[in-house]
């Protein structure tokens, strides 16, 4: 059978980047991607363990592949990412049809592991954390791309130990990639036609903090802002406690930095923030927002909220609603608390009935849907600059791109406009995207 692989990715942008790396590594041993698991000789799942729902979903998908293995014993099934890191060899015991388990630090070993499973019909597990020096050598990197917008990894891991979060245990300690390497990658991507870069890491705001010789994240942004060819810069994920005044000022100073920031707050209650070990108060968060809006009045914010954290009272929850109304986020990503094994919050007494948590969640969504609607509706009737990323799924002759706020806009245009920033008159706003009409350049007022 031809060397073909089918890969499913769960979770965050870090996993998206890891999956690209998996694809590149598999190509070195002759594996080509296919879109259907039935056509694959190798099936891989790159998993996320941040929430219980993501874990159940990954196991559900894994179960779907069991009949394929029964029909074709030559099929190799592998599981990587955060669940693999957390569960290790136990997965091989729990899923007899699983051949390969690889952790978050072991992706680079995939070609050898796949070859070994294939040649010797053995079952393998490799989930050891690597030392700092080795990790620094293995940062995912690209020198070219046929895409308009790309992620560039600037740091990995997390030292924050928020009480609900499994990331420090499954991704390891925080390390920053040398700034010289980051800039080399950004310049190479710009030369190959990339126009927008998103600098990513679990907590990019603390970039360079543990290395006296390294640039701060604000200084790194300033350097990226100078790269010819790059028109837009974004970054994620941010931690409010590490969002320095210098970094906030970048939104007023750096012309290429987009007017959008995802800044997870998690709760509007100081008691809950303390229990979450977040390291900032509600007042501090609101002061950051005030400063951001002062230096960049056009900025739009999005955030993450956890509803029903252990001990959350009605008062705590109302403080979150109040904060949402005060900040007026463009979008929120909200979840009902799910305890993660091994984290501090998993041991906290949790007396709030599930039905109450659900009611709070629904109430919050209702409020936020209206706030989001108001924010995005402001664009209707306006002309926005849209960086065109490609042909839209909406049909022939349709393109899609993003505004500075990260909103997807669909509009009629020509393929040759991909990669260009064009003025688009926004005509309608939906829950997750907008519709527009290209503005002829000669109709624009100077
Ligand atoms: S900052 Fe907190 S929530 Fe974010 S990855 Fe680190 S521990 Fe998890």
Which residue has a Cα nearest atom 8 of ligand 1? 165
Q: Which of 158, 262, 263, 344 to mutate to test the pocket of ligand 1 (most atoms within 8 A of CB)?
A: 158
Q: Which of 107-116, 202-211, 435-444 has the lowest mean pLDDT?
A: 435-444
- Ligand 1 proximal residues by C-beta, below 6 Å: 158, 160-162, 165, 167-168, 202-203, 239
pLDDT above 50 (res 445) = no
Q: What is the pLDDT of residue 393?
A: 86
For range 289-296, the mean pLDDT:
98
Q: What is the pLDDT of residue 296?
A: 98
| pLDDT, greater one: 12 or 416 | 416
Give distance in angstroms: CA of 277 to centre of ligand 1.
Answer: 10
Ligand 1 nearest-atom number relative to CA 166: 8
Q: What is the pLDDT of residue 142?
A: 81
Q: Which of 159, 168, 238, 262 to mutate to test the pocket of ligand 1 (most atoms within 8 A of CB)?
A: 168
* Distance between CA atoms of residues 125 and 302, nearest Å: 38
Q: What is the pLDDT of residue 446?
A: 37
User: Cα angle at 364 between 363 and 370, to 5 degrees?
Assistant: 100
Which residue has a Cα nearest atom 2 of ligand 1? 162
Q: Which of 155, 202, 207 to mutate to test the pocket of ligand 1 (most atoms within 8 A of CB)?
A: 202
Q: What is the pLDDT of residue 283?
A: 98
Q: What is the pLDDT of residue 322?
A: 98
Give distance in angstroms: CA of 238 to centre of ligand 1.
Answer: 9
* Distance between CA atoms of residues 218 and 392, nearest Å: 34
Ligand 1 nearest-atom number relative to CA 161: 7
Ligand 1 nearest-atom number relative to CA 239: 1
Q: What is the pLDDT of residue 441?
A: 66
Give distance in angstroms: CA of 77 to centre of ligand 1.
Answer: 30
Q: What is the pLDDT of residue 225?
A: 98
SS (H, E, C) the chain: CCCEEEEEECCCHHHHHHHHHHHHHHHCCCCEECCCHHHCCEEEEEECCCCHHHHHHHHHHHHHCHHHHHHCCCCEEEEEEHHHHHHCCHHHHHCCCCCEEECCCCHHHHHHHHHHHHHHCCCEEECCCCCHHHHHHCCCCCCCCCCCEEEEECEECCCCCCCCCCHHHHHCCCEECCHHHHHHHHHHHHHCCCCEEEEECCCHHHCCCCCCCCCCHHHHHHHHHCCCCCCEEEEECCCHHHCCHHHHHHHHHCCCECCEEECCCECCCHHHHHHCCCCCCHHHHHHHHHHHHHHCCCCEEEEEEEECCCCCCHHHHHHHHHHHHHHCCCEEEEEECCCCCCCHHHHCCCCCCHHHHHHHHHHHHHHHHHHHHHHHHCCCCCEEEEEEEEECCCCCCEEEEECCCCCEEEEECCHHHCCCEEEEEEEEECCCEEEEEECCHHHCCC
Q: Is the dihedral of CA 150, 192, 419, 417 positive or negative?
A: negative
Give distance in angstroms: CA of 446 to centre of ligand 1.
Answer: 45
pLDDT above 90 (res 144) = no
pLDDT in tens, 406-442: 999 999 999 999 999 999 999 999 999 999 999 986 5
Q: What is the pLDDT of residue 13?
A: 85
Ligand 1 nearest-atom number relative to CA 237: 4
Give distance in angstroms: CA of 87 to centre of ligand 1.
Answer: 20
Is the Cβ–Cβ distance between 47 and 11 less than 8 Å? yes
Q: What is the pLDDT of residue 7?
A: 97
pLDDT above 90 (res 145) = no
Q: Which burial class, exposed, middle or buried, applies to 268 when counting CB atoms under 10 A from its CB (0-12, 13-18, 19+)? A: buried
Instruction: Domains for the chain: give ranges and CATH numbers.
Output: 4-128 (3.40.50.12160), 130-258 (3.30.750.210), 260-377 (3.30.750.200), 383-443 (2.40.50.140)
pLDDT in tens, 27-81: 999 999 999 999 999 999 999 999 989 999 999 999 999 999 999 999 999 999 9
Give distance in angstroms: CA of 219 to centre of ligand 1.
Answer: 23
Tokens 């839209």 locate to: 392
Tokens read off for 281: 């108060």
pLDDT over 70 percentage in the chain: 99
pLDDT band at 11 (very low <50, low <70, confident <90, very high): confident
Q: How many residues does the chain have?
A: 446
Tokens read off for 19: 């999956």
pLDDT band at 143 (very low <50, low <70, confident <90, very high): confident
Give distance in angstroms: CA of 379 to centre of ligand 1.
Answer: 33
Give distance in angstroms: CA of 206 to centre of ligand 1.
Answer: 12
- In the chain, what is the greatest distance between 2 CA atoms, to the nearest angstrom? 69
pLDDT above 80 (res 115) = yes
Ligand 1 nearest-atom number relative to CA 202: 5
For range 82-95, the mean pLDDT:
96
pLDDT above 80 (res 443) = no
Give distance in angstroms: CA of 189 to centre of ligand 1.
Answer: 29
| pLDDT, greater one: 145 or 426 | 426
pLDDT in tens, 336-390: 999 999 999 999 999 999 999 999 999 999 999 999 999 999 999 999 999 999 9
Is the Cβ–Cβ distance between 284 and 245 less than 8 Å? no
Which residue has a Cα nearest atom 1 of ligand 1? 160
Mean pLDDT of the chain: 95
pLDDT band at 160 (very low <50, low <70, confident <90, very high): very high
């Amino acid at each position: 059978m031809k060397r073909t692989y089918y890969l499913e990715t769960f979770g965050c942008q870090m996993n998206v980047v890891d999956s690209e790396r998996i694809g590149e590594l598999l190509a070195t041993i002759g594996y080509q991607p296919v879109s259907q698991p039935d056509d694959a000789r190798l099936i891989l799942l790159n998993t996320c363990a941040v929430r219980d729902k993501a874990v159940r979903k990954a196991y559900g998908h894994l179960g779907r592949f069991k009949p394929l293995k029964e029909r074709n014993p030559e099929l190799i099934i592998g599981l990587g990412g955060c669940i693999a890191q957390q569960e290790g060899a136990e997965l091989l015991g729990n899923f007899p049809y699983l051949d390969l388990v690889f952790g978050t630090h072991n992706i680079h070993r995939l070609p050898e592991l796949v070859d070994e499973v294939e040649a010797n019909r053995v079952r393998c597990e490799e989930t050891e954390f690597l030392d700092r020096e080795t990790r620094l050598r293995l940062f995912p990197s690209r020198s070219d791309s046929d895409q308009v917008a790309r992620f560039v990894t600037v740091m990995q891991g997390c030292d924050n130990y928020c009480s609900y979060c499994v990331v420090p245990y499954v991704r390891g300690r925080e390390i920053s990639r040398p700034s010289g390497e980051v800039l080399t990658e950004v310049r190479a991507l710009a030369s190959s036609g990339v126009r927008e870069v998103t600098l990513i890491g679990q907590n990019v705001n603390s970039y360079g903090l543990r290395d006296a010789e390294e640039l701060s994240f604000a200084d790194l942004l300033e350097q990226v802002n100078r790269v010819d060819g790059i028109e837009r810069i974004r970054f994620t994920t941010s931690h409010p406690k590490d969002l320095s005044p210098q970094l906030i000022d970048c939104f007023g100073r750096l012309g290429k930095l987009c007017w959008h920031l995802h800044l997870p707050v998690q709760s509007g209650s100081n008691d809950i923030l303390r229990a979450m070990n977040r390291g900032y108060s509600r007042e501090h968060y609101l002061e950051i927002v005030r400063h951001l809006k002062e230096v960049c009045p056009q900025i739009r914010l999005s955030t993450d909220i956890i509803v029903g954290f252990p001990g959350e009272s009605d008062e705590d929850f109302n403080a979150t609603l109040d904060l949402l109304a005060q900040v007026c986020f463009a979008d929120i990503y909200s979840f009902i608390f799910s305890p993660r094994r091994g984290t501090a919050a998993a041991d906290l007494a949790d007396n709030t009935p599930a039905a109450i948590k659900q009611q709070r969640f629904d109430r919050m969504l209702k409020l936020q849907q209206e706030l989001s609607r108001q924010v995005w509706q402001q664009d209707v009737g306006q002309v926005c600059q849209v960086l065109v990323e490609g042909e839209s799924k909406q049909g022939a002759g349709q393109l899609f791109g993003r505004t500075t706020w990260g909103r997807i806009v669909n509009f009629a245009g020509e393929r040759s406009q991909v990669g260009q920033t064009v003025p688009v008159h926004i005509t309608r706003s939906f829950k997750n995207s907008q519709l527009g009409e290209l503005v002829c350049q000669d109709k624009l007022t100077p």
